[in-house]
């Protein structure tokens, strides 16, 4: 199943009064847009991401949208949210089976929520994340009493809203994103046009049923200043060093893992290190692209989460991983870790290679690895060392990498 994610980020967020598109504002040191896009770029069930931006931003997108490990395209959005989604839909891959749509202003959707919404859409055709109402729900009527109104009073006096009826709250749900749809269902709904606050409303209007998937309280939409305050609190709770609240569940903060990888160097292969092709007359021999940095980090984060190793999840006996991008495998490993309620705090890698020297490529490697992990580049360290002419590494016959990763609870 081929899944395309559309990130709706074409609005300006003028209600926030920030003087710039709200999706570019920082929350916990990272742009709201960056957080939302990373949730899908690193998700194992998502094959490509399309981001709809205001035209001026689309003309010069932020760096985190240009340096990605998976296919990502930027399109200029329209005047309305549904216009932006329709423009992005025109750019989806020909092989797309399911389209998942997410508001850029919701930066905290979990990997589990994304997976459940996609699975529900694949099975039922259409699905959206939603939270059940917790409070008693009242339906209101406006009471502008003029002549002989039931409330009495002077003509033309605005008396506000009055309760018309009490609705059964077990039937009331508050819609969120992601929302996911089979491609043909979304196409038919978008073709109807008309005003709608989300794609699910268009799909309903087209006569399709939309399944509800249990949403998340932390999957907030940032609209006003108060929402920014809440978002900062959520981001702070996820940050390293945050104080954990008492819980009956086992503590999962500060989990460390180590990784190691080694490959022979042979003629006729590209030398890929940390997602960057380094100029060399020889490259690493392996089933995938044999990127020792990504393989070592993958083992480190899987080990920290007690999820086995790279060979368990991406065995070289499986033809799917023949020639695969190790950055892609790293992103998939990060998503597996996220499903366990853990996030990558930081990684530190030492590359052992006699030649060529990697100093000039280190910054590009760090950026590529950070994008695959969905973390800030400041949390990725990569260093190059030689083996001083000792053994196969020292003779330039092989390349190796050692990695340490620290995980923290979401």
Residue range of the domain that includes 275: 255-409
pLDDT of residue 37: 95
Q: Average the pLDDT over 225-246 and give the result.
A: 72
Tell me: cis bond preceding 340? Omega within 30 of 0 counts: no
SS3 27: strand
Give the angle 275-280-282 at the CA atoms, nearest 5°.
95
| Residue 3: strand pairing partners | 98
pLDDT score of 35: 94
pLDDT band at 11 (very low <50, low <70, confident <90, very high): confident
Residues 313 and 199 in one domain: no
Digit-coded pLDDT (tens) for 31-47: 999 999 999 999 999 99
Per-residue model confidence (pLDDT) at position 110: 92
Which pLDDT does position 224 carry in this prediction? 84
Last residue of a domain, one of 146, 167, 188: 167
What is residue 130's predicted lDDT score, i.e. its pLDDT?
Answer: 94
**Rounded mean pLDDT of 301-307?**
93
Same domain (yes/no): 176, 144: no
Instruction: Output the pLDDT for position 244.
Output: 39
The model's confidence at residue 212, banded by pLDDT at 50, 70 and 90, is: very high
- Indicate whether 243 belongs to any domain: no
Average pLDDT, the chain: 88
Q: What is the pLDDT of residue 243?
A: 44
Does residue 247 sit within a domain?
A: no
Q: How confident is the model at residue 249 (pLDDT cuts 50, 70, 90)?
A: very low
Q: Are residues 143 and 207 in the same domain?
A: no
Mean pLDDT of 295-318: 92
pLDDT at 147 over 70: no
Chosen domain end from 238, 268, 283: 238
Considering the entire predicted model, what is its pTM? 0.58
Is residue 337 scored above 70 in pLDDT? yes
* Domain closes at, from 180, 211, 238: 238
- Rounded average pLDDT over 170-191: 94
Whether residue 17 contacts residue 53, with contact meaning beta carbons closer than 8 Å, is answered with no
- Please state the rounded mean pLDDT for residues 331-350: 90
The answer as to whether 119 is a domain residue is yes
Question: What's the structural domain count of the chain?
Answer: 3
Instruction: Give the domain CATH number at 269.
Output: 3.30.1330.50
For residues 152 and 190, membership in a common domain is answered with no
Residue 244 lies in a domain: no
Residue 249 domain flag: no
The answer to whether position 26 is within a domain reads yes
Which residue from 92, 88, 45, 75 is spatially nearest to 338, judged by alpha carbons? 45
247 pLDDT above the threshold of 80:
no
Query: What pLDDT band is residue 253 in, cutting at 50, 70 and 90?
Result: very low
The verdict on 305 and 403 lying in the same domain is yes
Distance of CA 229 to the CA centre of its chain: 21
Residues 159 and 177 grouped into a single domain? no
Least confident range of 15-19, 62-66, 111-115, 116-120: 15-19
Contact yes or no for 372/406 (Cβ under 8 A):
no
For 20, residues 6+ apart whose C-beta sits below 8 A from its C-beta are: none
The per-residue pLDDT for range 67-93, each reduced to its tens digit, is 787 899 999 999 888 899 999 999 999
Instruction: Give, in order, the Cα–Cα distances in Å from 151 to each of 143, 147, 157, 349.
Output: 8, 10, 11, 73
Q: Are 266 and 337 in the same domain?
A: yes
Rounded to an integer, what distance in angstroms lies between the CA atom of residue 324 and that of residue 49?
19
10 pLDDT higher than 90 = no
Residue 76: predicted pLDDT: 95
Share of the chain above pLDDT 70, in %: 90
Same domain, 178 and 195: yes
- Only one residue has tokens 């080694």, namely 262
The DSSP code sequence of 122-163 is HHHSEEEEEEE--S-EEEEEEEEE-SS-TT---TTEEEEEEE
- In the numeric block, the tokens 């194992």 are attached to 44
Does 89 share its domain with 220?
yes
């Amino acid at each position: 199943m081929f899944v395309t994610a559309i990130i709706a980020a074409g609005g300006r967020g003028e209600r926030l009064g920030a003087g710039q598109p709200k999706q570019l504002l920082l929350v916990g040191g990272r742009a709201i847009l960056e957080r939302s896009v990373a949730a899908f770029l690193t998700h194992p069930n998502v094959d490509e991401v399309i981001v709809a931006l205001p035209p001026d931003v689309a003309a010069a997108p932020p760096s985190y949208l240009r340096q990605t490990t998976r296919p990502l395209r930027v399109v200029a959005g329209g005047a309305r949210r549904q216009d932006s989604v329709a423009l992005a839909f025109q750019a989806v891959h020909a092989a797309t089976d399911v389209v998942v749509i997410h508001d850029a202003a919701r930066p905290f959707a979990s990997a589990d929520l994304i997976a459940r919404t996609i699975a529900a859409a694949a099975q039922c055709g259409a699905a959206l994340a939603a939270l059940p109402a917790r409070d008693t729900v009242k339906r209101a009527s406006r009471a502008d009493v003029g002549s002989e109104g039931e409330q009495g009073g002077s003509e033309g006096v605005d008396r506000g809203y009055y309760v018309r009826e009490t609705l059964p709250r077990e039937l009331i749900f508050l819609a969120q994103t992601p929302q996911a749809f089979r491609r043909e269902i979304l196409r038919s709904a978008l073709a109807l046009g008309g005003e709608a606050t989300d794609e699910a409303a268009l799909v309903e209007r087209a006569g399709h049923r939309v399944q509800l998937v249990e949403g998340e309280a932390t999957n907030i939409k940032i609209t006003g200043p108060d929402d920014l305050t809440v978002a900062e609190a959520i981001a702070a709770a996820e940050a390293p060093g945050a104080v954990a609240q008492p819980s009956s569940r086992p503590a999962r903060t500060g989990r460390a893992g180590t990784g190691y990888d080694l490959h022979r160097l042979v003629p006729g292969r590209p030398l890929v290190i940390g997602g960057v092709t380094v100029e060399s007359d020889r490259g690493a021999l392996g089933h995938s692209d044999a990127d020792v940095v990504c393989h070592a980090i993958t083992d480190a984060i899987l080990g920290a989460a007690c999820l086995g190793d790279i060979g368990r999840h991406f065995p070289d006996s499986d033809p799917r991983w023949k020639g695969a991008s190790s950055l892609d495998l790293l992103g998939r490993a990060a998503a597996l870790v996220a499903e366990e309620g853990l996030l990558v705090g930081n990684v530190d890698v030492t590359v052992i290679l006699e030649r060529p020297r990697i100093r000039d490529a280190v910054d590009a490697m760090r950026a590529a690895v950070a994008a695959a992990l969905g973390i800030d580049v400041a949390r990725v360290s990569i260093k190059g060392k030689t083996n001083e002419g000792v053994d196969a590494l020292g003779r330039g016959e092989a390349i190796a990498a050692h990695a340490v990763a620290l995980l923290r609870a979401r």
